[in-house]
């Protein structure tokens, strides 16, 4: 078995300390973090998801595997996020009220940080109002919310309503959420995975920053022209 296969297997068993050691070794062998994420950790989570659905594993096993996945993500984070990136915008992130799933959210955080976005993570089980309060407090224009349960996704509608009052944009995601649902609740963006969410929001801030700097340049030119007259 190679490193990737071993990591995938041990994650399914929730063996955090074994995974830690294997990831360290794999990285020493120059296996890229991205490859470990996409070809070992994600397939393991998908397989846990299938086994959970088919009643082959139960909440305690899934919980332990989830913890091991978060340990693995913490180990990969430094390789996936370059510290010296220029900061392009702020995002408030969290999992909605009633929902404790955080692996997808944590992945969104890493991918967004990897694009130079400053992420303020509120954790799980977050009240709708808290997303907006935090966005106001830190001066973030974008709120990102995750929901994994059909019974909690409706919280997003409330977040969108409160966010609109404060002129904030909302991106939604998580397994039960879709583009159709985005349209239904009037959210600004939807992405199916973490990498896509980071692309979308980085693109949003980059185009905003570009038009702001063009406006600033034009203003400076106008005042220079006026003082020359």
Look up residue 214 and give its two tokens: 């063009």
Residue 149 binds to ligand B12 (criterion: CB under 6 A): yes
Residue 150 binds to ligand B12 (criterion: CB under 6 A): yes
Look up residue 49 and give its two tokens: 């998801």
Q: Considering only residues 78, 139, 176, 203, which one is a binding residue for ligand B12 as defined by CB under 6 A?
A: 176
# binding residues, ligand B12 (CB under 6 A): 36
Cα separation, 154 vs 134, in Å, equals 20
Look up residue 29 and give its two tokens: 């062998």
Helices in the chain by DSSP H: which ranges? 3-12, 16-28, 33-36, 42-53, 59-80, 103-113, 128-138, 155-165, 179-185, 194-228
Q: Which residues of 190-212 are buried (b: 16+ CB within 10 A; e: fewer)?
A: bbeebbebbebbbebbeeeeeee
CB of 174 to ligand B12, least distance (A): 4
Q: Considering only residues 85, 100, 212, 220, which one is a binding residue for ligand B12 as defined by CB under 6 A?
A: 100
Q: Considering only residues 171, 185, 187, 202, which one is a binding residue for ligand B12 as defined by CB under 6 A?
A: 171
Q: What is the contact mask toward ligand B12 in residues 151 to 170, using x (rule: CB under 6 A)? A: x-------------------
Residue 194 binds to ligand B12 (criterion: CB under 6 A): yes
User: Interaction with ligand B12 in 9-48: which residues (CB under 6 A)?
Assistant: 45, 48
User: Interaction with ligand B12 in 47-66: which residues (CB under 6 A)?
Assistant: 48-49, 52-53, 59, 62-63, 66
CB of 4 to ligand B12, least distance (A): 17
- The residues facing 142 across adjacent strands are 91, 169
Nearer to ligand B12, 129 or 150 (CB): 150
In three-state secondary structure terms, 142 is strand
Handedness of CA 115, 116, 120, 121 (dihedral sign): positive
Q: Considering only residues 103, 110, 126, 202, which one is a binding residue for ligand B12 as defined by CB under 6 A?
A: 103
Closest by CA position to 131, among listed 99, 87, 170: 170
CB of 188 to ligand B12, least distance (A): 11
Q: Considering only residues 68, 96, 108, 112, which one is a binding residue for ligand B12 as defined by CB under 6 A?
A: 108
Look up residue 141 and give its two tokens: 């224009």
Give residues in contact with ligand B12 (CB under 6 A). 45, 48-49, 52-53, 59, 62-63, 66, 98-105, 107-108, 144-146, 148-151, 171-176, 191, 193-194, 197
């Amino acid at each position: 078995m190679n490193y990737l296969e071993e990591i995938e297997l041990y994650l399914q068993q929730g063996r955090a300390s074994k995974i830690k050691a294997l990831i360290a070794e794999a990285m020493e062998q120059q296996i890229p973090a991205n490859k470990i994420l996409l070809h070992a950790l994600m397939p393991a989570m998908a397989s846990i998801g299938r086994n959970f659905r088919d009643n082959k594993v139960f909440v305690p096993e899934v919980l332990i595997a989830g913890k091991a996945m978060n340990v693995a993500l913490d180990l990969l984070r430094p390789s996936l996020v370059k510290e010296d990136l220029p900061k392009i915008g702020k995002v408030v992130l969290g999992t909605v009220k009633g929902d404790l799933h955080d692996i997808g959210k944590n992945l969104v955080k890493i991918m967004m940080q990897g694009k130079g976005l400053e992420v303020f993570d509120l954790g799980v089980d977050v009240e709708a109002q808290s997303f907006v309060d935090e966005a106001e407090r830190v001066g973030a224009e974008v709120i990102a919310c995750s929901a994994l349960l059909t019974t909690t996704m409706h919280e997003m509608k409330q977040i969108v309503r409160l966010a609109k009052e404060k002129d904030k944009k909302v991106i939604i995601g998580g397994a039960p959420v879709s583009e159709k649902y985005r349209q239904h609740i009037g959210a600004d963006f939807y992405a199916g995975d973490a990498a896509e969410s980071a692309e979308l929001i980085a693109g949003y801030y980059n185009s905003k920053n570009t038009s702001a700097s063009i406006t600033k340049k034009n203003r400076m030119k106008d005042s220079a022209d006026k003082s020359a007259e």
